[in-house]
Amino acid sequence: MIKTIKYKPVNWVDGMRLSSEQFVANDKYYQDKMRDAISTRLNGYNYGILPCLDTNTRTFAVEITASAAQMVDIRVRSCHAITADGCRIHIDAGPDGRGNVGVSYYFNEISATGSNLYNVLLQVDPFERVPEGEINPDNEPARHPYVGPSYKILVVPETNLSSEHIESRSLTVGRFALEQGSVVVNERYIPPCTSMMSHPLLIKYYELFSTTVHKLQSTSFSILDKTVNDSSLTALARNLRMVTERILEYLAHHIFTFRYQLRQGTPLDFIGFFCHLSQTLFTGMRCIATKEREDLLKYFYEWRDISPASFEELLARVMEMKYNHWDIYSAFALTEEFLVEITALWERLAALEYIGQHKENIVVAEQQQVQQMQTRKIWTLLD
């Protein structure tokens, strides 16, 4: 998000006295200009953890643990990110494998608010210059050769989290709860990310959803094979074929984007693919006459055990999903629920002998087979 440029350039003139403060002030101006330039390309959905540089480099590693001394210990081992206002976070693990940013909080210090849910925020200040590097004894005066930004870890109760925290130089990197004096870390928390390749959980979700989309596509083709248009096709089979055709048309138009662009895209773009899929399915269902649509929903209930009201409610929740970039997991959990139901239902329908087959038909057929086998066994014994 765009913030006001705070620092001004130094007015250099011939003959003026020079000091380190003037060079520092000019450096802060250029830092602020770069931050501002980056922020013009950011919105509420594309800031956060950066994608991995290579297979051996982790761009995000944060540990939240409870010690025996009634303390919660927070360590940032690695973090490469962009904050909402354009500040760059660059933290690498040291030679000993330990990150250079950490803090410990006493339970009684953070439990006085009455809240039991807490957000761990990593705050960066590029204008507070922190000396870095090995001191060279040959330099006079002796000094650290470089400077870097300062980092600070904050623990903010969920009830106190505001837009100032989200839209500032801070980035939420973890969450935990206090339950009966013990720290329970939210292992499923996904911080704001710039790409689907930025976080291990997002990478797993991409792989899982890719497999699910492939299953949905293949089972849809099987359903089409069982519902070839002819005069004997029932209304139920005809309507299911129409809905399935809409799903396949949507996948045909967007599968290339899903496989390549969305793999590198933002989590919002990725979730949008499935929101549009649910909208396609919902629209197809609404195009069916009311009585026939009810029959189709009852048929779904017969084979997947999801009631018509629950099925339509699930579609509505996905279509009306409110995406929060600082709470990415909620959107992915709902999308996973939707895909599990739809894929399982389509797999079950594709496995039927024909569309329109009912469970009681299978029970009767099985009973007839058992009776025939028993009859054959009796005659065999008499022989």
Q: What local confidence, expressed as pLDDT, does residue 58 receive?
A: 76
Q: How far is C-alpha 60 from the geometric centre of its chain's CA atoms? A: 15
- The pLDDT tens digits of the residues spanning 318-357 come to 999 999 999 999 999 999 999 999 999 999 999 999 998 8
Contact yes or no for 219/350 (Cβ under 8 A):
yes
Beta-bridge partners for 146: 132
Lowest mean pLDDT, pick from 163-167, 245-249, 269-273, 379-383: 379-383
Residues 6+ apart with CB under 8 A from 340: 212
Question: What mean pLDDT comes out for the span 143-166?
Answer: 85
Alpha carbon distance 338, 343 (integer Å): 9
For residue 363, what pLDDT is reported?
Answer: 47
Please state, for a pLDDT cut of 90, what percent of the chain lies above it.
65
Examine the pLDDT at 196 and tell me if it is beyond 90: yes
Mean pLDDT for 1-7 is 83
| Helices (H), ranges, the chain | 20-39, 107-110, 163-166, 200-226, 235-256, 262-264, 267-286, 290-304, 308-319, 328-350, 359-382
Query: pLDDT value at position 110?
Result: 53
Q: Between 246 and 141, where is the model more confident?
A: 246
User: What is the C-alpha to C-alpha distance for residues 195 and 270, in angstroms, rounded to an integer?
Assistant: 9
Report pLDDT for 179: 79
In this predicted structure, what is the pLDDT of residue 66? 80
Relative to beta strand 101-106, strand 117-132 is: unpaired
Domain extents for the chain? 20-185, 200-352
How far apart are alpha carbons 45 and 323 in whole angstroms?
Answer: 9
What is residue 281's predicted lDDT score, i.e. its pLDDT?
97
Question: What are the tokens at 102?
Answer: 């950490």
66 SS3 class: strand
Q: What is the tens place of the pLDDT at every residue in 60-111?
A: 999 998 876 567 899 999 999 999 999 999 998 765 545 578 888 876 655 5
Whole-angstrom CA distances from 124 to 113, 118, 130, 247 are 25, 19, 11, 45
- Residue type, position 1, single letter: M
Q: How many CB atoms lie within 10 A of CB 263?
A: 16
Pairwise CA distance, residues 86 & 46, whole Å: 11
Q: Quote the pLDDT of residue 89.
A: 95
Of 29-38, 163-172, 206-215, least confident by mean pLDDT is 163-172
pLDDT at 383: 44
Please give the average per-residue pLDDT across 178-182, as a whole number.
Answer: 77
Task: pLDDT band for 152, please (50, 70, 90 cuts).
Answer: very high
* pLDDT at 178 (0 to 100): 82
The amino acid at residue 142 is A
For residue 235, give the nearest of 288, 189, 313, 300 by alpha carbon.
Answer: 288
- From the list 236, 245, 206, 246, the residue with the least C-alpha distance to 328 is 206
Checking if the pLDDT of 10 tops 90, the result is: yes
pLDDT at 191 over 70: yes
Beta strands in 299-378 (DSSP E): none
Q: State mean pLDDT over 194-208.
A: 96
Distance CA 112, CA 90 (A): 33
Burial profile 125-161: b = 16 or more Cβ within 10 angstroms, e = fewer: ebbebeeeeeeeeeeeeeeeeeebbebebbbbbeeeb
- Is the pLDDT confidence value at 149 over 90? yes
Residue 367 pLDDT > 60: no
Average pLDDT over residues 269-279: 97
What digits encode the pLDDT tens for the residues 278-289? 999 999 999 999
What's the pLDDT at 70?
66
Residue 363 CA: distances (Å) to CA of 297, 301, 370: 22, 17, 11
pLDDT single digits (tens) 19-61:
999 999 999 999 999 999 999 999 999 999 999 867 667 789 9
What is the average per-residue pLDDT within 134-149? 87
CA 86, 94, 143 angle in degrees (round to 5)? 80
Q: DSSP labels for 124-135? A: EEEEEEEEES--
**pLDDT over threshold 70, residue 376:** no
**How far, in Å, CA of 309 to CA of 16, rounded?**
78
CB 368 within 8 A of CB 376: no
- For the chain, the average pLDDT equals 87
> Could you tell me how far CA 363 lies from the centroid of its own chain?
43
